[in-house]
């Protein structure tokens, strides 16, 4: 299991469009990938799950990946979150 902590810099947090990009990227990995925020946890491959976390700007989220490509998955998902545009 690999974990990464990331700060959400996007001014609107993880709303519909950025969450969709995140889900699309996560779906390209074999590993189970989850996002933890405010004591809640969601599967990053589920758009509804990601949106249900209600992640806002400047929030610190934890990316947790577990599986065959866990290291790459955690790095890539963290990179997507860090580089989200408005």
The single-letter DSSP state of residue 31 is S
- Catalytic residue from among 15, 32, 56, 75: 15
Beta carbons of 7 and 82 less than 8 angstroms apart: yes
- Looking up residue 32, the CATH number of its domain turns out to be 3.30.1340.10
pLDDT digits (tens, 9 = 90+) for 9-40: 999 999 999 999 999 999 999 999 999 999 99
Which residues are CB-neighbours of 67 under 8 A, at least 6 positions away? 29, 30, 31, 32, 73
Q: What would the mean pLDDT of 29-56 be, rounded to a whole number? A: 97
* Torsion of the alpha carbons at 13, 52, 4 and 33, rounded to the nearest 10: -130
Res 67 pLDDT > 80: yes
Task: Quote the pLDDT of residue 6.
Answer: 96
The backbone torsions φ and ψ at residue 33, rounded to the nearest 5 degrees and listed phi first, read: -130, 130
Task: Decide if 15 is catalytic.
Answer: yes
Number of independent structural domains in the chain:
1
pTM of the entire predicted model: 0.93
What is the residue range of 78's domain?
A: 2-82
């Amino acid at each position: 299991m690999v974990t990464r902590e990331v700060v959400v810099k996007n001014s609107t947090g993880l709303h519909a469009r950025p969450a969709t990009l995140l889900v699309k990227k996560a779906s390209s990995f074999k590993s189970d990938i989850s996002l933890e925020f405010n004591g809640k946890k969601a599967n990053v491959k589920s758009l509804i799950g990601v949106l249900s976390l209600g992640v806002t700007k400047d929030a610190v989220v934890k990316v947790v990946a577990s599986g065959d490509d866990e290291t790459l998955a955690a790095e890539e998902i963290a990179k997507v979150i860090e580089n989200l545009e408005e």
